[in-house]
Structures are given as structure tokens and as C-alpha cells.
Amino acid sequence: MEADGKKILFDTGERPNTVLENAKEIQLDLSDAEIVILSHFHHDHTTGLMTLRREYSKKNPGALSVAHVGKGIFWERRGELQNIAHFGKGVSLEQLGFLQNHMIAMKKEYEATGGVFVEHDKPEELLPGVWLTGPVPRVFPERNYPGKIEVATDKGWVEDTVPEDLSLLFNTSKGLVLLTGCGHAGIINTLQYARKFIRPAPVDAAIGGFHLFRATDEQLDWTADKLKEFQTSQVLGTHCTGIQSVFHLHQRMGLTRLTCSVGSVGATYDLKDGIQTGLVSR
């Protein structure tokens, strides 16, 4: 994202070179982006961090040198092998049948380059009008996270609800704009929380992964109705939202193919033109 001449990178992809190559493809220079945000610990949102940091720091030593994360991203995890696929190829199998949190090793690697992690346990305004939610309260029972994974807390091993999951919110002249990674806290939980600590404004756009690809029609109806309640004007569903789920939201919310689309590389949003995607995504 870019605001007032400053860039922020939100998440870094599942494979080491994906974001780097996509940025080159759309001719986007990230060397002047000093802030990176990691929405949560999952492999498909964090793997590209070191590649991007090393590549862009050749031009600017401060490139992607400050990483903002939610409290809990470095906690130990464990889970059954059947869940390994969600985390990609970088999962450790040192303990038979169990996975490890790769962010623990990445923290040391990143800090060795001079990078700094900043952990958040509450909302923070990073730039004027640009808010990081911090961990989001789970008011509604949106179970938007993989099951049978456990996380080590000060209360022992408990179900991993991805407690560190956070999002970006923009307080604009047209209303709030939401940018999520997977929305494991729940897109409705996230928006309701933001409308409390920022302002109860209409939502001009909800953008990102909402983890609705396995949602039932009833769950999608409820989500769409809440989005309508928040006066959501535009939706760009990417990543784990699910193509059919985006179409369901489109129909239930009464949006058009221009205001509710499937995300694709190179899709954009700005206050003047709103969501713009490739023709195939509409």
C-alpha cells in the first residue's frame, strides 16, 4: 500500500521469489518500502521475507527493515501431519507427526540482517489514518482457521486460533478500507473491532483473503448480510476467500462484477477509481 508517499508491504508470499517476481512483473520497486507487515505466522504469508529483505537492501539498507507482527506469531506450534499442507514445504518434521513454527528461526535470520520485529497486542496508528488492528477479539464465532493445531501459551498448549492474526485499516474520506491476509480472526470480527477503535464509518472496500473457501451457504449469507450492515461498497476477494464464495457475496450483497471481484496479480484500489482488476477477474 502507498499513502502520503510512503510504502508498506503487507505479507510476503508462500515461496521465496513469488512476491519479488510479481513486483518486477508489474514494475513495482519495493526498495523504498521500509515497513513490512506479516498478518500471521503461516508459511504462505511469510516465506518471501528474507528474499525480499536481502534483494532490496542492496539498493536501500533500510528496505523492509521493520516488520510489524501480532503478539503470538513466535509462539511454538504443533499439529498433526494431515495439516502440514496448509503450511507449505518449509515445515519441520523433526518430531514425528508434528510441525514447528518456522517464524522462530526466521526471527533470528531477519535480525541478523539488521531487521527489527515490532510486536503488537493492541491497535496502533502506523501512519496518519493507517491503522494496524493488532490481535482481534473474537466476538462472533467465525472459525476461520485450520483445526487440530495447538499453540503454546502461558496457560499451556491450547487450540491454535491464530491469535496473532491482524489486518490493516485505512481511515479515508470515503470510509474505512480493510486489507487482510487470511482473516483468520474473521472479517466481520475485524471490521466490527475497527469500527469501534477508529470510527463507525461505512466500509468503502474490503480487500484480501477472508478464509471463506470452505464456508457453507448459510455462513456466506451471514457474512454478506453483516458486510451490507457495515455499508460495504466494494469487495476484492483474494487468496483463501474462494472464487465461488466471492460470487456468493456478489449476489447476496447486490454488488456488480465491477464492485465485487476475484483478486489477481496487478489488481489495484485507490480512492478515485476504486477496485480495478484484470478483465478475467471480473
Domain boundaries, the chain: 2-201
Q: Give the DSSP H or E segment for 9.
A: strand 6-10
Residue from 6, 5, 89, 13 nearest 52 by CA: 13
Residue 13 Cα distances to 69, 255, 267, angstroms: 15, 29, 16
Residue with cell 496487478: 266
Q: How far apart are CA 22 and CA 126, in angstroms?
A: 25
149: Cβ contacts below 8 Å, ≥ 6 apart: 77, 78, 79, 83, 99, 159, 160
pLDDT tens, the chain, 282 aa long: 998 889 999 999 999 999 999 999 999 999 999 999 999 999 999 999 999 999 999 999 999 999 999 999 999 998 864 444 444 444 444 433 456 799 999 999 999 999 999 999 999 999 999 999 999 999 999 988 877 889 999 889 999 999 999 999 999 999 999 999 999 999 999 999 999 999 999 999 999 999 999 999 999 999 999 999 999 999 999 999 999 999 999 999 999 999 999 999 999 999 999 999 988 887
- pLDDT in the model for residue 99: 63
Fold for the domain defined by 2-201: Metallo-beta-lactamase; Chain A (3.60.15)
Task: Report the Cα–Cα distance between both ends of the chain, in Å, rounded.
Answer: 22
- pLDDT in the model for residue 96: 35
Sign of CA dihedral 58, 59, 60, 65: negative
